[in-house]
Structure 1
Amino acid sequence: MTAADRFEDSFRLSVAPMMDWTDRHCRAFHRVLAPHARLYTEMVHAQAVIHGDRQRLLGFDASEHPVALQLGGADPAHLAQAALIAQDWGYDEINLNVGCPSDRVQAGRFGACLMKEPALVAECIAAMRDAVTVPVTVKCRLGVDEQEDYALFAAFIDTVAATGCTDFIVHARKAWLQGLSPKENREIPPLRYEWAHRLKRERPQLRIAINGGIATLEAIHAQLAHGDGVMLGRAAYHDPYLLHRADVSLYGGAERERAELLRAWRPYVETQLAQGVALKHLTRHVLGLFHGRPGGRAFRQVLSEGAHRAGADWALVEQALAVTANARRAA
């Protein structure tokens, strides 16, 4: 399978862009867990890409491929410039955020509020597609606020798809721009997977990945019966082993033990420690590895209490694994 084929196939399983979570260290760990999945950065505003510290904002490890940059913004020219910069940095895909409902995003007139401006989104996507050769994709909601009409959602998709964009990641709930926090917007608006399913049935030429509330292997397969891909969000972060099981289930291979997977991440960790990165910035992403397993709480405790200390290194991880193994034997 060529690199291009692997990239296309990675659409079946991806990890959502999550602010403060899916940084480069998290993605490097997720790559160990899921060799075939598509990984997404945290959202970065186009202006930050153009004017900010690009090494800090855009730098990533080569092992992360296939990896996509998610951009925020609503100015077609700025988004096109940022997309070109990202392509030059080696990203495999550029994704436009049309789903984040935070106050900061609304104040900047981007994210979920763009669901009300399909023509502007189409203009942004067209400009980005003209600027780069890598795929440009959209992550959106079903609508915002009073929008309760499937036809309105479908019309939004059609307007954007008219630019030539074919890949849409649909968070299968709408967003309330007033009255709900970002956390509440991930939980309170009801999931309507059937809207994403219908969209795929009626527009088979589009590739639709489904996101929102998918937290089990059974749910992943259930959604793939109706769409082209599944994007895992917080489930992949809080229970990383689910991501590993999903990758094996969809792409083949044998499941590996949690401790084996964690040790496979050690070369990356050692490299980062040698560059001056504190262990706490790395291990915060693995705290859920033993989620629901005997010793899981002890694993988290050892890492949480020790990783912030000066000089903390891989030995602490081995200590956490040893405590976990003892608890598992005693269970």
Structure 2
Amino acid sequence: MNSKSIILGLVCSTALISGCDFFKNKKQEAAEVKTPEVADWSCTAPDNVQQMQDYLKEEYLKEVDQRIRHSGYEADQALLDKIRKNIKFEISHISTKTEKPEQAKTLDCSSLITAVLPKGLQKRAENAYLDEPCEECETEENSSRSYTLQDHYSTSFPSLTLKNDRLNGIDFIYHIEKSDKDEISMTMESHYVVGQAAYLTQLAVQYASYLKANAQNKEDSKKYVEENAAQRDLAQKALDVRQKELENEKKSSVERLNAAWDRFSAEQKTSLQQDQSDWFEKRDIDCKVLSQKNVHELDEKERETYQKQAEYWNEAMYQQNQDIQYSKCFIQKTKERAVYLNNVFN
């Protein structure tokens, strides 16, 4: 009889990588490991179980290494080494699904799978999950999550439970096949426990880096707010200066118009009264329409000096700009009307 060998094959391992409250699927290519050890034709054979547990640990180590290398955060190397050394995987509550296994060429096996975490890792990972920097968060209030790691598992991975430093998974499926040469191959179907154990490790070892990044982000945010406030204050001053200038021009243009009107006799005023009233109404309507043009639709060269700070305006400042543009239109049309009336008089 030919010597027996075991081939451990992981068909597909799927892991999820975190980003704020969003997770991306990452697939791992199939892998095979051969060992000369002899195994029994049984789902529960201790050698088979031990080799699967060892293989799961190897896959976990690869996953952790890949996550750390692809992450933008620094890992606590001493803590990482401790976790990698002490974490282990257990396969339990094994059942054979194949009827008449002694006559079968394939055994279908089902079990529970558990990642036994070093003491304290769960709590540290839960804290890190809440403090993991979130690029999608727009405000300081949103940067602190209310969605917890337990919420993550109950929502995204209902088959997993995290409790007392143990990550438990159900329905771990594997198959044992016997070839014509009595070679025994064992294939494991994908399961989330390995990838999520690696994710928990990543959270734990990068926790300090998250806190450091959050502190820096808070400082940068404070600096941005201060700089933005200073620029907005400057923008407000520019608006006020321009508005004051136009108020003086507006007063002067009205005085010129009144002076032109006062030159007419009572009879001439009566004759021109309706035309003057129509002009007042048209001036008001035209200027209201023209003043509503969005400042951001203007070319840079078309903008007045005060409008170059428009990116810092709030709603009230946009309204003030509209008032200024109305005044500009009012002044121009009033001056033109004064010239027209003077020509009529002459």
TM-score normalized with structure 1 length? 0.18
Which structure has greater strand proportion? 2
More helix by share: 2
The higher relative CO (CA closer than 8 Å, separation ≥ 6) is in: 2
Max Rg structure = 2
